[in-house]
Chain A
Amino acid sequence: MITLPLEQRLEILADSAKYDVSCSSSGSSRAGKAGALGNTTSSGICHTWTADGRCISLLKILLTNACIFDCAYCLNRRSNDITRAAMTPDEVVDLTMNFYRRNYIEGLFLSTGVIRTADYTMEQLIAVAQRLREVERFNGYIHLKLVPGADPLLIAQAGRYADRVSINIELPSRQSLALLAPDKPRESVINPMRQVSDLLAEAREARTQSRRAPRFAPAGQSTQLIVGATPESDRDIITLTEGLYHKLELKRVYYSAYIPGSVDSRLPALPTPPLLREHRLYQADWLLRFYGFAASELLDAAHPNLDMRFDPKSDWALRHLELFPVEVNRVDYEVLLRVPGIGVRSAQRIVQARRGTRLGEAELKKLGVVLKRAKYFLTAGGRYLGGIRLDGPRLMERMLAPARRPAHLDQLELFATMPDASALTGEL
C-alpha cells in the first residue's frame, strides 16, 4: 500500500477523506511560541475553496483507506473495490509541516480506516499527533478522529495532543446504524462522545484551579450525520442534534448530503445529493445554537420535515403571525433574532444604533439590515414596513414570489464575515 508514489497516495487518501465535511479550524486560541511553528485563532481561518465551493482549512487526510468495517454508505468499506493506500507517520508529519509553513493550511485533520483493531488504529493516529507536537514542536491546529470502540485511555491521550476530536454518528437512529453499519454499534460511538464530554468538563474545572493544568481538546468535539441515506425525518435529526448540543456540549454537528456511492440494495438510489435539505438542516442548526430556538418549535409531529421553500425561521414566523409585526425600536434583542431575515449581526447593530437614534426604514438600510423578508414582520416608529396586510396565504405568496436563486446554489456560506464577531454568529 505504500509502494505507490507519494503524490498518488496523497490523491487516493484525499479522495477517501473528503466526504467528512467537518472543515473548521476554530475554537482554539493559542499564541505562537518563539522559534516554533504555529498558532491558532479562535475564529479559524479558511485558506482556499475547492471547485465545489467548500473551504479548505485543514489538510484532511486518512492515514490509510484500508478498513475492516463494511459500512454500506462509506466509500472505504471493506467490500468496495478501490485502490488502497497508506501514509507513514513520517510522511504525514512532513506534509503537515511543509504545507503549514507555506500557509496552505491551518493544521491537520487526521482520520483513518480501521485496521486490525480499534485500539491499534487509534494508537496510529495518536502517534502522528504526538510526533507533531513533541518532536516537531508543531503548535498549529490538529483535529483527530476517534475510532469507534477505542479504549478510554487512548481517547484521553488523543485529547492531549488534539485541538478538536470527533467521532461520527453518521446515521441518526439505532435501526439505521444496525442496518447499514453492522460493525459499528451505537454504543461504540456514543460512549466515546460521553467520555470526551466528561473529560472536557474535568479539564475546564482543573484549569480554573491551575493555569498549568493539562489541556484537553480545547476546541471541543464535533460529529457528523449523513442526510438522505436513511428514512429519518428532519425532526428526528434536529432533535438528536439538540440533545448533542445540550447534553454532550458538542461544538458542531455537521450534516452531509448522502452522495450515492454504491449500488447496495439497502441504500436509496438518489438522482442527486439532497443539498437543499442539507442547507435547511444547517439553517435549523444555527437557529438552535445562536437564535434561541428549540427543536420542538421548529418541527413537530404535524410538521416532521423542514419546508424546502422557506428557511426554517420564515417557516416558523409564518406559522406564528400572531406575534408579528414587532416594533424595531422597542423589542428585545431575543425577539429581533426571531424576525426572518435578521441575523445576529443585524440584531446587534439595531440594538446598538437605536440607543443613539430613532430607527426608520432608511436607517435600517444604512445599518446593512436586509429588509427583503424582515419588512413583513417589522414596524419602524409605528409604521408597518411590509406594505401589505399580514395574512398568511398572501404573505407566503409574497415571500415566495421574488426571483429565487435556483436550489442547487443554496449552499451554506461559512466564514464570509468579519473575524471578531465570528464566535457569536457561529462560524465555528
Chain B
Amino acid sequence: MTVYRFDGSFEGFLCAVDYCLDIGDTQPEFIRDGDVQAVGLFAGEVREVATLRECALTLRKRFVEAASQEAFATARYAFHSHKTGIELLLWRYLTLGLQVGRRLCLMLAEEPVHSVNRIARQVSHEAHKYKGFVRFREVEAGFLYAQIEPEADILPFIAPHFVGRVGDRPWMIHDLRRNQAALYDLTSWRLIRDVELSAEPALSATEHDYAALWQRYFQRHAIAERHNPKLQQQHVPLRYRKHLTEFIIP
C-alpha cells in the first residue's frame, strides 16, 4: 500500500487524489507533510506529491461537472475540519462523486456522503460563528489584530468576509491553535504559516476605552427579568469566551 504525502493544503490533497486516479491506485493512504506519526509501522512506500495549482483545478472541474458545485464546497469544508481520517473519507467521497455524478447529493443517508455532510456542516457552522466572534484589537498605527482558537481550520472561509468588511485597515486574524494567520494588507489577504507571537502587541491609546465601553454596554443590555445563562451558554460556549472582549473581566 502506498502512502501519499502532500503539503497539508486542500490543493495539495486534490493533487494527491488526482495522482492516484491517474495511476489507478484504488487503495491509497494520505498523510500531511510534517505529520510524522501518521506513517504506520506497516505502511508501504511513501511518495511525495507536489502541489500544482493547475492539477487541483483540473480535478475540481472534473468533479464539479460530474457531481455539483455544492458537493465540491462540502468536500472543501469537510477537509478543513482536519479530523483524523478525513482524507480517506474524502477520497471515497470524491471517487464516488465521479462515479455516480449528480446522484451524489441525493445519497444523504448513505456513507460516505452522510459523514462528509455532517463534518462539513460542523465546519461551516463554526466558520459562521466566527464571523461574529472575531474580536479585533487596534494596535499601533491603526493595525487590527485578532486571536482565535477554532476547532477547525476556518481561516480560509472567514478571511474573504473580513476583506469585504474591514477594507480600510490592514488586519491580521491569528489562529493560535495552528500557528497560522490571515493577513490583509489593504489589497488582498494571504495565509501565513508558523506565526508566533514574540510579545503581546502594544495596543493603541484608545483601544482600552472602546473595549471598556463595549463591556459596559454588554452588561447593561441583558434584561434581568429574563435572566437565562443556560441559553446564553448554548449560544456562546465557554471555549469561545477566552477571546471575546465582552467576557473578559477587566
- Name A's B-contacting residues (CB within 8 A): 6-7, 10-11, 14-15, 18-19, 31-39, 41, 43, 45-57, 59-60, 95, 98-99, 101-104, 106, 140, 257, 259, 272-273, 275, 349, 352-353, 355-357, 359, 363-364, 366-367, 408-409, 411, 413, 415-420
CA distance A282 to B92 in the complex (A): 43
With A14-B217, A52-B222, A416-B235 already in contact, the answer to whether A409 and B228 are too (CB < 8 A) is yes
Q: Does B189 contact A (CB under 8 A)?
A: no
Contact indicator A356/B168 (Cβ below 8 Å): no
Given contacts A50-B232, A52-B227, A272-B225, 17 further A-B contacts (CB under 8 A): A7-B216, A11-B220, A14-B217, A37-B165, A37-B167, A39-B164, A50-B218, A51-B228, A51-B232, A52-B222, A53-B234, A56-B221, A102-B211, A103-B165, A104-B135, A356-B106, A357-B109
Contact with A along B209-247 (1 / 0, CB 8 A): 011111011101111111111111011100000001110
Question: Chain B contacts of A95 at CB under 8 A?
Answer: 213
Contact of B108 among A34, A52, A353, A420 (CB under 8 A): A353
Residue on B with the closest CB to A357?
A: B109
**Quick check: B216 and A10 within 8 Å, CB to CB?**
yes
**Chain A: minimal CB distance from B4 (Å):** 30
B161 to chain A, nearest CB (A): 8
Task: Give the contacts of B173-200 with A (CB-CB under 8 A).
Answer: 186
> Using Cβ atoms and an 8 Å threshold, which residues of chain B touch A420?
124
Residue of A nearest to B132 (CB): A47
Q: How far is the CB of B118 from chain A (nearest CB, A)?
A: 8
Chain A residues whose CB sits within 8 angstroms of the CB of B132 once the complex forms: 45-48, 57, 103, 106
Contact A103 B134, CB 8 Å, known A39-B165, A52-B223, A355-B106 = yes
**A356 and B167 contacting across the interface, CB-CB below 8 Å:** no
* Interface SS of A by simple majority: loop
B231 touches A53 (CB 8 A): yes
Contact with A101, one of B109, B136, B163 (Cβ below 8 angstroms)? B136
Docked pose: A257 CA to B226 CA in angstroms: 10
Q: Which of B110, B216, B220 makes the CB contact (< 8 A) with A357? A: B110
Chain B residue nearest to A140 in the complex (CB): B165
Contact present for A353 and B106 (CB under 8 Å): yes
Cross-chain pair count, CB within 8 angstroms: 183
Chain B: CB-nearest residue to A363: B109
For the complex formed, measure the closest distance between the CB of A99 and the CB atoms of chain B, giving whole angstroms. 6
Which residue on chain A has the smallest CB distance to residue B134?
A103
**Chain A residues whose C-beta falls within 8 Å of the C-beta of B167 in the assembled complex:** 32-37
Determine whether the beta carbon of A103 is less than 8 Å from that of B103: no
Q: Does B133 contact A (CB under 8 A)?
A: yes
Chain B: minimal CB distance from A75 (Å): 11
B107 with A36: CB separation less than 8 A: no
Q: Which A residues are CB-close (under 8 A) to B220?
A: 10-11, 14-15, 18
Q: Which residues of B contact A59 (CB under 8 A)?
A: 217
Instruction: Tell me the bound Cα distance from A7 to B222 in angstroms.
Output: 17
Give the CA-CA distance A15 to B216 in the complex, in Å.
11
Residues of chain B in range 83-126 having any CB-CB distance to chain A below 8 Å: 103, 105-110, 114, 121, 124-125
Contacts of A364 in B (CB 8 A): 109
Complex contacts, B222 vs chain A, CB 8 Å: 18, 50-52, 54
Tell me the bound Cα distance from A125 to B222 in angstroms. 24
Between A and B, 5 residue pairs with Cβ closer than 8 Å are: A11-B217, A48-B236, A101-B166, A102-B214, A103-B136
Q: A353-B108, A356-B108, A411-B228 are in contact. Are A418 and B125 (CB under 8 A)?
A: yes
Q: Which residues of B contact A102 (CB under 8 A)?
A: 135-138, 144, 210-211, 214, 245
